[in-house]
Amino acid sequence: MPSLIETTTKNDPKKITICGAGLVGCLAACYFAERDYEVTLYEYRSDIRNMKVVAGRSINMAMSVRGREGLKRIGAEESITSKGIEMYSRMLHDTKGNTQAVPYGKRSQCILSIDRRYLNELLLNEAEKYPNLTIEFSHKVKKCNTNTGEVVFENTLTGQEHHVKSDLVIGCDGAYSSVRQSLLKDKAVDFSQSYNCGYYLELQIPAKNGTFAMPPKHLHIWPRGDFMLIALPNQDYTFTCTLFMPLEMFEKIQTPEQAIDFFEKNFIDALKLMGNENFVQMYFATKPSSLVSITCNPHHGNKCVLFGDSAHAMVPFYGQGMNCGFEDVVVFFEILDSLGFDNIDKVLEKYSQTRVPDAHAICELAIRNYDEMKYLVTTRGYRLRKKLDSI
């Protein structure tokens, strides 16, 4: 990594506004603060560290080498990985409950199952350690001028508006990013959004006799052609299961009997571990959520750059959304560290040139991996894969 001296701004601290204190926003904030920028991190929600329940997306997530690299550079890798559960293979479940493990790579290679909330809280704690970094919760981006670096926030507690001007605005406000929305108005940006990969619903397999009810060191998959169930282990010995299906299939299941019947036919072993009553309660407790895939090009404006889902929201089948967002930060700082903030125009230009093709590729891979997971991991798929491998 190049010396930080080139971008250190101690004598003339540049102001950085980061919108969104999710996983990627917090990491980006630490990288800027590390280099002595004057950083303010604005978050729509109140502080999740004080919440009983955090509403939102997946409870746990798979972290790969790509994501770990981002954490390593702020010295946070160890504290994260120590709370992760290694998953060395995909464990496939057939309709009778028979299982088969398919390793991800060599014996030592694995991905980690990490609790989303723990990861976000730890990154908030890391960010708070920097004296030159302020976090403002309950601040919602309303709009942004990506040419001047002015952002309008609404304090959601008081209803008051704040206008903030800075040298660079970082959009880390997720898939439905308001910063990106403003960028699309200010600049000719190619943008695409699709909802072609169905819906998802989260369920849980409880602990059994104080331990895991299934072997924990695997990502469990019940591939069923047009739909699938997956499960990742949690630190408290539970598994979070995610059911991925077309909306029409969800809509056909209206009663507890229909839900049980569907699970008995397709996921009998998982159903037994959940228990019928518990399963029905979980199944009907929430509505299925949609999955979106978003790409844009470029990822920057004159005084603005997008990281994470705001730049490239991907369907979760490759388990790379967060990982890729962390890599955005690493790549951006490699460029910034080598060119310096005085050349920010060139930094932004080079960042988009470097990152956009990779982001597009990984969004596409994520969509293709849906087929790999729900179909290609089945017997017919193995034959097809063998054929492909031999070409």
Residues that bind ligand FAD (CB under 6 A): 19-25, 42-45, 57-58, 61-62, 140-141, 172-174, 178, 200, 242, 308-309, 316, 319-323, 325
289 three-state secondary structure: strand
Q: Least CB distance from residue 257 to ligand FAD, whole Å?
A: 27
| Residue 42: CB minimum distance to ligand FAD, A | 6
Residue closer to ligand FAD by CB (options 114, 271) is 114
**DSSP element (H, E) containing 213:** none
Q: How far is the CB of 98 from ligand FAD (least distance, A)?
A: 25
Dist. CA 271–CA 318, nearest whole Å? 25
Closer residue to ligand FAD (CB): 298 or 325:
325
Residue 4 CB, shortest distance to ligand FAD, in Å, is 24
With respect to ligand FAD, which residue has the nearer C-beta, 9 or 199? 199
Smaller CB distance to ligand FAD: residue 44 or 339? 44
Backbone angles phi, psi at 54, to 5 degrees: -105, 115
Distances (CA, A) of 62 to 88, 120, 145, 250: 11, 14, 35, 25
Nearer to ligand FAD, 234 or 323 (CB): 323
Rounded CA gap, 366 and 321, in Å? 9
15-19 and 168-171 as β-strands: parallel, antiparallel, unpaired? parallel
Closest CB to ligand FAD among residues 339, 363: 363
Q: Describe the crossing of helices 276-285 and 256-266 by its angle, rounded to 10 degrees.
A: 110
Residue 173 CB, nearest distance to ligand FAD (Å)?
4
CA distance 360 to 142: 27
Minimal distance, residue 28 CB to ligand FAD, in Å: 9
Q: How many angstroms separate the CA atoms of 158 and 50, rounded?
A: 19
Residue sitting closest to ligand FAD (CB): 22
Question: Which two structure tokens, joined as six digits, stand for 327?
Answer: 């890599």
